[in-house]
Amino acid sequence: MSPPEILVEMREVCTSLGGHWVHQNINLQVERGNLLALVGGSGAGKTTLLREMIGLQATTLGEVRLFGEGLNDGHRAARAARRRRVGFLFQQGALYSALTLFDNIAFPLREVGGLLEDEIRTLVLSKLELVELKPQHASLMPAQLSGGMIKRAALARALALEPELLLLDEPTAGLDPDRSAGFVELIRGLHASLGLTVVFVTHDLDTLSALANRVAVLAERRILAVGDLNGIRSVEHPFIQNFFRYRAAVNELPEE
């Protein structure tokens, strides 16, 4: 078998924001088929790292390669096409506040051009169904959605073009446990059927253990460890040990 295809490659990435080093010498590779969980303390620079992967934010030093190409390679059209292969779920949703939910999800589809309105409607319906939103929600404005609905709507929009690579910033924050589990199922299903590669930031250990097939720990400005969950848990580092200590706290609740 040929070596795994590398979708994202970060080489010696350093980032300085507001006079502080957020990242120093980060090396990270995301292979096709990965369900890579990016964990780290609040403010560790996870969002920043995700943004750097698709060039929303420039690295101070180092190189980022997406789908085997530099972020600025090629002409404008080629760069746009490359971006379209990636879906990005922003931490705060970032829905277009002037557009309805329907138009938000239809937006990337319309950008492609050449799709019939009827097809767009069906595709939006199927995306709404994926994230368990109802068709009657489609005419709501983002300001009229609940926090969890915003998250799911933003996910539907990120999935609209069925990208090869999905970058999710805290996808299950703000979802009830049932929906979190549903979300994990959804991503797993897409992973199986579309061969989706996912990089997701999460603080939720249940999501982490249910979804990730690889985990990267970001702390002390660098990637402390990358590997499968069991491998990571056995790493002797105070941050990692602390992080996983709280797992299964619910199971240990004293019974009434």
Partner 1 sequence: MPEQPPAERPMQTFQSPQIQFDGRQCVLTGDWILAALKPRLIRLRAWLLLHGKSTETWNLTQVRHIDTFGALILWRAWGQKPPDILLLGPQHESAFQRVRSVAGQVFPPERIDWLLPIVSIGNAALGLGSHLLDFARMLGMIVVEAARLFIEPRSIPLKEFSAALYKTGAQAMPISALVGFLIGIVLSYLSALQLRNFGADALIINILGVGIIRELGPVLVSILVAGRSGSAITAQLGVMRVTEEIDALAAMGVSVHQRLVWPKVLAMAIAMPLLVLWTSVAALAGGMLAAQMQLEIDWRFFMLSLPHVVPVQNLYIGAAKGVIFGVAIALIASHFGLRIRPNTESLSRNTTSSVVAAITAVILLDAVFAMLTRGIGVPLR
Chain contacts with ligand ATP (rule: CB under 6 A): 17-18, 22, 40, 42-48, 91
Sites for partner 1 among residues 181-240 (CB under 8 A): 189, 192-195
Could you say which of ligand ATP, Mg ion, partner 1, none residue 181 binds, taking C-beta under 5 to 8 angstroms by partner kind?
Answer: none
Whether 187 and 172 have beta carbons less than 8 Å apart is answered as: no
Among 70, 135, 177, 231, binds partner 1 (CB under 8 A): 135
Look up residue 155 and give its amino acid. L
**Residue 150: CB minimum distance to ligand ATP, A:** 16
Residue 99 tokens read as 């557009």
**Residue 248: CB minimum distance to ligand ATP, A:** 22
Q: Which is nearer to ligand ATP, 15 or 106 (CB)?
A: 15
DSSP characters over 87-135: EEE-TT----TTS-HHHHHHHHHHHH----HHHHHHHHHHHHHHTT--G
> How far apart, in whole angstroms, are the C-alpha atoms of residue 19 and residue 118?
51
Sites for partner 1 among residues 49-88 (CB under 8 A): 67-69, 74, 78, 81-82, 84-85
CA angle 58, 19, 83 (to 5 degrees): 15
Q: How many CB atoms lie within 10 A of CB 27?
A: 13
**Which residues of this protein are in contact with partner 1, per CB under 8 A?**
67-69, 74, 78, 81-82, 84-85, 96-98, 102, 112-115, 118-119, 121-123, 125-126, 129-130, 135-136, 138-139, 141-143, 161-162, 189, 192-195
